[in-house]
Amino acid sequence: MKLQIAKSVYGGAGLAHEPGGKTVLVPFTLPGEMIEAQLLEHKKKSDEASLLQVMSASKDRVKPACSHFGECGGCQYQHAEYPTQMKIKSSILQETLERAGLIALPNIESHLGPQWGYRNRMRLRIEELDDIPRVGYNRRGTNEFLAIHECPIAAPILWRAAQSLLQVAAQTPSAARWLSNAVEAEFFTTGDEKKLQMTIYVRKDQPGLAAFCEHLKQVIPELAGAGTSLIKLTGPQRQVQKPRPLESWGATGLSYRAADEDYWISRGGFFQVNRFLIDELVRIVTEDRNGQLAWDLYAGVGLFSRALAKKFRQVVAVETAGIDLINSFKGPGKHAVEATTVDFLRHAVIQRERPQLIIMDPPRAGVGADVCSFLTRIAAPEIVYVSCDPVTLARDLKMLVDAGYKLQEVHLVDLFPQTFHLETVVVLRK
């Protein structure tokens, strides 16, 4: 069928209308383009189709930089000029917020950095093809293995490390036998690419990590530490249970310099993925904010807490898995709490505690109704909400706005160029 793309939607596809009026989603298209598509699947709200050819291309269409684009499930927007990607994301964010009933929105301020080589973390599958180990990702929309030979959005050292892994296995029979037990490999680097951590996910426990890492370090001297974790692959969907750490070699984490602070990130621990925009994100969230008491909820390793501690007399940082936070966020005016945000806020309501500022950086599921209910009872004068999902963000903001908060600022921070993912910072005040 021939379709004209009306707009781009969250998830990366273009939206068009079939002659009968039903919407159809077609990936790798741009607004205004006339395309030919093949219907793939009927769904309740919209149909899904694949792109056969672009009959009338947008002036914003470009040649993708990666040879795997379209097959690989990682990127969705490499066919669009980068300024166009930002326009698409901004319009999607605006529409998502408005659809939730949020009106009179402030102008969305966009913040961007280099569009390539930005990722400080990379997780790859390892499989043998013709008896030769290869690394790759999932083929788009499936769990099939796609061997790759480049990944332009990853920091160069990460891809060099993946190549080194295969090189060591090819040159050393004992290393090849050891790696044959591996299912996945994850690499994490500092922003300056001078230090590297590696986790190898294996099918079964086996000795030999240290010997393998000594071989690998000769090829990639930045390797500072490594570990193996056991994962169980169950069923065709490759459902992965929580990995169980096994052996360890070298350092157990990395000291990551960002926003004029050093953060200790344990192997496998969460940290913002865009090495170029971390400082800007911290600036947006914390700049020109000061006072007596601030809370940093879903604090992670304390990315925002450290900056706040320079400006507030007391900062309370709350994190469910708070080992790194408790070990590093110490000293006068710094208080780390290992607890869920819901439990912390429930206790705070009982104690009638009220900070001047609350910062929240929840996972993709957002904060939810319980947290919003507690927040409205605590009634802090200012809340800064950092979100990686515009849909759950809009849901939560609507609850806070209905309770009396007003949206003062909306920032789109493009931590994930070439993909549909977008990071948003929203400032709310009473």
**Which pLDDT tens digit goes with each residue over 255-298?**
999 999 999 999 999 999 999 999 999 999 999 999 999 999 99
Helix/strand/coil for 209:
helix
Closest to 236 (Cα-Cα) out of 308, 138, 163? 138
Please tell me the distance from the alpha carbon of residue 400 to that of residue 398, in angstroms, as a whole number.
Answer: 5
For the chain, the residue count is 430
Any domain includes 267? no
**Which pLDDT tens digit goes with each residue over 320-370?**
988 889 999 999 999 999 999 999 999 999 999 999 999 999 999 999 999
Q: Please tell me whether residues 340 and 301 are part of one structural domain.
A: yes
Any domain includes 268? no
Bridge partners (DSSP) of residue 274 are 119
Bridge partners (DSSP) of residue 199 are 186, 227
pLDDT at 35: 98
Run of H or E including 99: helix 82-99
DSSP string, 8-64: E-TTSEEEEE-TTS-EEEEET--TT-EEEEEEEE--SSEEEEEEEEEEE--TTB---
**Which pLDDT tens digit goes with each residue over 194-210?**
999 999 999 999 999 99
Paired tokens of 317: 């940082």
Q: Please tell me whether residues 104 and 178 are part of one structural domain.
A: no
pLDDT at 60 over 80: yes
Q: Please tell me whether residues 230 and 315 are part of one structural domain.
A: no
If you compute the radius of gyration of the chain from its CA atoms, what whole number of angstroms results?
23
What is the mean pLDDT of the segment spanning 286-312? 97
Closest to 275 (Cα-Cα) out of 91, 46, 115? 115
Helix, strand, coil percent content, the chain, rounded in steps of 5: 25, 35, 40
User: Can you give the CATH number for the domain in which 9 is found?
Assistant: 2.40.50.140
pLDDT at 45: 85
Place 13 in a pLDDT band, splitting at 50, 70 and 90.
very high
Average pLDDT in the chain: 95
Bridge partners (DSSP) of residue 69 are 72
Please tell me the distance from the alpha carbon of residue 306 to that of residue 323, in angstroms, as a whole number.
Answer: 16
pLDDT at 232 over 80: no
- Domain termination residue (choose one: 229, 257, 285): 257
**Which pLDDT tens digit goes with each residue over 233-253?**
665 444 545 678 899 999 999
Helix/strand/coil for 234:
strand
User: Can you give the CATH number for the domain in which 420 is found?
Assistant: 3.40.50.150
Q: Please tell me whether residues 283 and 339 are part of one structural domain.
A: yes
**Which pLDDT tens digit goes with each residue over 372-386?**
999 999 999 999 999
For 302-326, give one letter per residue: b (16+ CB within 10 A) or e. bbbbbbbbeebebbbbbbbebebbe
What is the mean pLDDT of the segment spanning 53-82? 97
Any domain includes 213? yes
**Which pLDDT tens digit goes with each residue over 18-49?**
888 889 999 999 999 999 999 998 888 899 99
Q: Please tell me whether residues 289 and 425 are part of one structural domain.
A: yes
Please say whether the beta carbons of 312 and 294 come within 8 A: yes
> Distance between the two ends of the chain, CA-based, in angstroms?
51
Paired tokens of 123: 């997780």
Q: 91 Cβ partners below 8 Å, 6+ apart?
A: 7, 8
Bridge partners (DSSP) of residue 233 are 240
Q: pLDDT exceeding 70 applies to what percent of the chain?
A: 98
Q: Please tell me whether residues 236 and 289 are part of one structural domain.
A: no
Q: Please tell me whether residues 319 and 216 are part of one structural domain.
A: no
Please tell me the distance from the alpha carbon of residue 51 to that of residue 79, in angstroms, as a whole number.
Answer: 13
**DSSP, res 241:** P
Any domain includes 71? no
pLDDT at 241: 56
Q: Please tell me whether residues 160 and 297 are part of one structural domain.
A: no
pTM of the model: 0.93
Please tell me the distance from the alpha carbon of residue 213 to that of residue 226, in angstroms, as a whole number.
Answer: 7
Q: Please tell me whether residues 211 and 317 are part of one structural domain.
A: no
The boundaries of the domain holding residue 226 are: 121-257
Any domain includes 85? no
Structural domain total, the chain: 3
Degrees, nearest 5: CA angle 25-90-270: 90
Please say whether the beta carbons of 254 and 190 come within 8 A: yes
Degrees, nearest 5: CA angle 33-36-40: 120
Please tell me the distance from the alpha carbon of residue 341 to that of residue 296, in angstroms, as a whole number.
Answer: 10
What is the mean pLDDT of the segment spanning 302-317? 97
Q: Please tell me whether residues 243 and 348 are part of one structural domain.
A: no
Please tell me the distance from the alpha carbon of residue 115 to that of residue 416, in angstroms, as a whole number.
Answer: 8
Closest to 268 (Cα-Cα) out of 327, 186, 201, 159? 186
Any domain includes 81? no
pLDDT at 237: 46
Q: Please tell me whether residues 378 and 304 are part of one structural domain.
A: yes
pLDDT at 20: 80
User: Can you give the CATH number for the domain in which 193 is found?
Assistant: 2.40.50.1070
pLDDT at 267: 94
pLDDT at 111: 98
Q: Please tell me whether residues 314 and 368 are part of one structural domain.
A: yes
Q: Which CA distances in Å does 326 have to 10, 299, 318, 320? A: 37, 11, 10, 11
Run of H or E including 350: helix 341-351
